[in-house]
Chains A and B, each alone.
Chain A
Amino acid sequence: MIRDEDIIVVDTPVLNAAERLYIPQIVAGMQVTLRHMFKKSITVQYPEQKRTLRLENYRGVHRLNRDEEGRVACVACFMCETACPAHCIHIVAEESPWDDREKYPLQFDIDELRCIYCGMCEEACPVDAIELTPEYNLVGRSRQEMVFDKEKLLKVYDQTKTEKPRKNPRITGYAGTGNRTEGQPTGDSH
């Protein structure tokens, strides 16, 4: 609710004699447009030229990072799936075959058509396994093709890792985060 004393009444500006003739104002406007006519255009000729993107924070297609041993870095904690406002991430977890983590994703599907590219999954991830890449050129011939599974997301990592390396490659599983000890859950005691 706006208080009455906060309202600013703006009067129509009073024009002087020259302004009321219109002509000087029109000439001034046309000078501006004439100047612009000789300026260099700012258009990027897209398919031939490409903008240089800010790699750090551009939010394009997702990828699933690999750790230093080439395994999927995800620990299937469901944080991203929970954080996702568009409900486009679907994870099926499975017991991990490796010692340094409990779970790993058997399936990891992202519906790229449903995604709103907000980047909340990247923020939620405790192991920096899911990241958004600067890749925006995303096309497909069917809806099914646009649902990216684990293999495809890992492939995106392989393609983009030189362009944008993984933020924190040392984190592998819970061991690196220091939040867990000896596989014991840190749940409350109630």
Chain B
Amino acid sequence: MLDILKDQFWFSAILTVVLIGAIMGVVAYCIYFERKISAWIQDRVGPNRVGPFGLFQPLADGAKFLFKEDIIPANVDKPLFLIAPVIAFGLAMIGFAVLPWGGNVDLDADGIIDVTAQVADPGIGLLYLLGVGSLGIYGVVLGGWANNNKYAFFSAMRSTAQMLSYEIPMGIAIFVVVITVGTLRLEDIVLSQIGEGNVWNIVLHPFAFIILLITIFAETNRTPFDLAEAEQELVGGYHTEYSALKFGMFFLGEYAHMITGSGFITILFLGGWHLPGVPGLQPGDVSIWAMLFKMTVMGAKIVGFLFLFMWVRWTIPRFRFDQLMRLSWKGLLPISMILAGYATTLVYLGKATNIPWALGGNVALLVIVLIYNGLRSGEITGRQANLPAIARPVEAHS
């Protein structure tokens, strides 16, 4: 048994099965905790009828999705209608393939590294993750188009415009990390944040972290960027006409996408499976128990981000479309470009991982943004300059 595991192929195969199971479970309980957290924030109780504390609610929901009538409306584009949820769900799931879960492992403790706790370890893991994440839009667009419903189509178009706009600051924020650590291999990005004199990238570039966090909110269609699912304007969004398991797949896909995004930002900025100073979480710890510990830490960081996603969702109202576009093109894009230029300069000067230099630049950028904002603060926000002036009442006749 152990000999089979020592082969990377079989190890990856087993890890895949375990991961798919674990992620499906996490996704199911994400929906439960989404409802619970919304309830807690609103001083309510939340689901509490199925099982103790409502813990079996995901099972009941799953059974409901399975047994509901699966309606295919008369005038939909049938092949696309059937394949869109599969694309949405499948693309969200395959992103997990390259996430490094626990570094190198020496299974039989003979001093030789046997396998890497990762399904696949390509040199361009980061590009793969970016590509798969961007493909996620196809599920939304095809779903919205195949519906043959104008509201669903509006939703798909909004989603597309949003993703295109936020892809750019996201790419540049990632570029800041890549140019700093000088590699696209995810395991190497994690390792570059560990060790003597190295810190997590969030310390070096907190601005890039915030930009990436915001863009991941937009990428995963979460509030405050969930314009694609604005019920008040669009009925239900791109999945208006979907029912039963097909709707469930969109739902699961959204949450799986959130988990991928959380893993992504954890690896880039929060040191992946690493905690500084904790024994068992260092690159030298290669026992099977260290691997499980590392996986737990990685999972805990991802869960922390999932909580943040839900917390934000039940706090911040949705942006208006023009605000959404303004934030991306006039806010995030210039800041991320300045950051990218700064990070590149640091690399040229050989000070890419020098904390005072990197952090100082970020603080200077924050000050510049504040001063610029202060100088512009006389403007009325949320109202376009070319609109007619607000009508003033006529002076009272006495």
In the complex, the answer to whether A20 meets B41 with C-beta atoms within 8 Å is: no
Task: Give Cα distance in the complex from A16 to B371, angstroms.
Answer: 10
The distance from the CB of B357 to the nearest CB of chain A, in whole angstroms, is 23
B197 within 8 A of A: no
Which of B45, B377, B393 meets A14, CB within 8 Å? B377
Instruction: Please tell me if B51 contacts chain A, counting CB pairs below 8 Å.
Output: no
A21–B37 touching, CB < 8 Å: no
User: With a CB–CB cut-off of 8 A, which chain B residues contact A17?
Assistant: 370-371, 373-374, 377
Give Cα distance in the complex from A29 to B41, angstroms. 12
Q: Is A179 an interface residue (CB 8 A)?
A: no
A30 close to chain B: CB less than 8 A: yes
A138, CB-defined interface residue at 8 Å: no
- Asked if B311 contacts A36 (CB within 8 A), the reply is no
- In the complex, what's the smallest C-beta–C-beta distance from B122 to chain A, in angstroms? 35
Residues B394 and A36 in contact, CB atoms below 8 Å apart: no
- In the bound complex, residues from chain B placing their C-beta under 8 Å from that of A26 are 312, 315-316
Query: Is B381 positioned at the interface, with any CB of A under 8 Å from its CB?
Result: yes
Known: A23-B210, A30-B311, A33-B41. A4 touches B380 (CB 8 A): no
Q: Quick check: is B63 within 8 A (CB to CB) of the other chain? A: no
- Residues of A contacting B42 with CB < 8 Å? 36
Tell whether, in the assembled complex, residue A30 and residue B315 are in contact, meaning their CB atoms are under 8 Å apart. yes
**B contact residues around A9 at 8 Å (CB):** 390, 392-393
Given contacts A17-B374, A41-B43, contact A5 B312 (CB under 8 A): no
Contact size range, A: 20 to 34
Q: Report how many residues on chain B are interfacial, defined by Cβ distance under 8 Å.
A: 33
Contact check, A21 vs B373: say whether CB atoms are below 8 A apart: yes
In the complex the two chains form, what is the Cα distance from A14 to B39 in whole Å?
A: 34
Partner of B44, one of A21, A32, A43: A43
Which residues on the B side are within 8 Å of A30 (C-beta)?
311-312, 315-316
Question: B-side binding surface: helix, strand, loop or mixed?
Answer: loop
The answer to whether A16 and B41 have CB atoms under 8 Å apart is: no
The contact string, 1 if C-beta is below 8 Å from chain A, for chain B 346-381, is 000000000000000000000001110110111111
Decide: A20 near B43, CB < 8 A? Known: A9-B393, A37-B37: no
In Å, the complex CA distance between A11 and B393 comes to 13
Q: Looking across the interface, which residue of chain B has its beta carbon closest to that of A30?
A: B315
**Interface presence of A53 (CB below 8 A):** no
Q: Does A189 sit within 8 A of B, measured CB to CB?
A: no
* Residue positions of A touching B, CB distance < 8 A: 3-5, 7, 9, 11-12, 14-18, 20-23, 26, 29-30, 32-34, 36-43, 45
Q: Which 9 A-B pairs have the closest CB atoms?
A: A5-B396, A17-B374, A17-B373, A20-B373, A33-B315, A37-B40, A4-B393, A43-B45, A7-B393
A-B contact pairs, 26 of them (CB 8 A): A5-B393, A7-B393, A9-B390, A11-B380, A12-B381, A14-B378, A14-B380, A17-B370, A17-B373, A17-B377, A20-B373, A20-B376, A20-B377, A20-B381, A22-B327, A23-B210, A26-B316, A30-B311, A30-B312, A30-B315, A33-B315, A36-B43, A41-B39, A41-B45, A42-B43, A45-B45
